[in-house]
Amino acid sequence: MTDTLLRRDVNDGIATVTLASPVTLNALSTPMLRALEDTLTALAADEGIRVVVLAAEGKAFSAGHDLKEMNGYHVDSDGGRTAFETLFHLCARVMQHIAALPQPVIAQVQGTATAAGCQLACSCDLIVASETARFGVNGINLGLFCSTPAVALSRRLAPGLAFELLTTGEFLPAPRAQALGVVNRLAPPDQLAEETRKLAEAIAAKDPAAIRLGKRAFRAQLGEPLGQAYATAGAIMVENALLPATADGIQRFLDRR
């Protein structure tokens, strides 16, 4: 199932994972989420992978949860409660897996990222988007407030602006998303993969142990009170400073002065 829903390519330490279900607009069905979870688990254990790029085929990055699948839950004996709880728990686990992945993850957003698809993009560490891409948490248009996508979105966007998108169901065009800090880099559609690759290569060229420690520190201190954030970051920075490669890097810098 993973092979039919996802493609994984590795080149020079950069793994590109591609959502490959354009017919469903790369909907985050249960099989798609399980395929993502399995793939992320494998990537986390691979020390040869320095950067992960999450891309997609077709006109949509991801349309979010599979509405046909969700609609079928209502015939269950409990009205779908257990099925919905299982789905949203699985989705949350995948999003947190991205944050916990040792390697930086770049979302390469070529089209519309809607609801849980927007959540997927915003769960990544960095976003490179096509100038024609759009981001939305517009479940409210169907009567379903995007509460779980709001978790990822509100960590990339000012709360008031995130809440506006959540309550109006309006789309955020990629240029506006970049201006607001949601998107890191923009590219013309035909140059998106190249621009993403440039960013991935710039990160992959750095010391992988320092990048892994740095991602852990950055993610851990987010949302912590100031004192705790410094304690968390300081402890990890000590780990980093003690690495032999770090000592060598400092010495090389001093030798050039």
Based on the domain organization, do 59 and 141 belong to the same domain?
A: yes
Based on the domain organization, do 55 and 181 belong to the same domain?
A: yes
CATH assignment of the domain containing 225 = 1.10.12
Based on the domain organization, do 213 and 199 belong to the same domain?
A: no
Residues 237 and 210 sit within 8 Å (Cβ to Cβ): no
**pLDDT at residue number 2:** 55
Residues 64 and 28 sit within 8 Å (Cβ to Cβ): yes
CATH assignment of the domain containing 128 = 3.90.226.10
The span from the CA of 61 to the CA of 76, in Å, is 30
Residues paired with 56 in a beta bridge: 19
Q: Residue 24 has which token pair?
A: 């469903």
**pLDDT at residue number 23:** 96
Count of structural domains within the chain: 2
**What is each CA distance from 253 to 51, 84, 105, 247, 248, in whole angstroms?**
25, 55, 29, 10, 9
Identify which of 85, 92, 97, 94 has the alpha carbon closest to the alpha carbon of residue 148.
92
**pLDDT at residue number 131:** 98
Residues recorded for the chain: 257
Q: How many helices (H) and strands (E) does the chain have?
A: 12, 10
Based on the domain organization, do 96 and 28 belong to the same domain?
A: yes
The span from the CA of 146 to the CA of 125, in Å, is 21
Q: Give φ, ψ of 158 to 5 degrees.
A: -50, 135
Based on the domain organization, do 46 and 123 belong to the same domain?
A: yes
Based on the domain organization, do 240 and 175 belong to the same domain?
A: no
Q: pLDDT tens digits for 55-71? A: 999 999 999 999 999 99
**pLDDT at residue number 3:** 61
Ranges under pLDDT 50 in the chain = 1
Last residue of a domain, one of 204, 228, 246: 204
Residue 165: Cβ-neighbour burial (10 angstroms; 0-12, 13-18, 19+):
buried
- Report which residue type is found at 163: F
| Residue ranges making up the domain that contains 250 | 208-256
Based on the domain organization, do 124 and 28 belong to the same domain?
A: yes
3-state class of 243 per DSSP? coil
The span from the CA of 31 to the CA of 37, in Å, is 10
Q: pLDDT tens digits for 168-222? A: 999 999 999 999 999 999 999 999 999 999 999 999 999 999 999 999 999 999 9
Based on the domain organization, do 241 and 170 belong to the same domain?
A: no
Nearest 5°: the CA angle 1, 97, 39 is: 25
Based on the domain organization, do 92 and 194 belong to the same domain?
A: yes
The span from the CA of 256 to the CA of 94, in Å, is 45
3-state class of 115 per DSSP? coil
3-state class of 49 per DSSP? coil
Based on the domain organization, do 167 and 235 belong to the same domain?
A: no
Q: Give φ, ψ of 229 to 5 degrees.
A: -60, -45
Torsion of CA 74, 84, 18, 34, to 10 degrees: -110
The span from the CA of 129 to the CA of 170, in Å, is 18
Residues 182 and 138 sit within 8 Å (Cβ to Cβ): no
Based on the domain organization, do 180 and 229 belong to the same domain?
A: no
Residues 26 and 56 sit within 8 Å (Cβ to Cβ): yes
* Residue 230, CB-side half-sphere exposure with 13 Å CA sphere: 2
Based on the domain organization, do 147 and 179 belong to the same domain?
A: yes
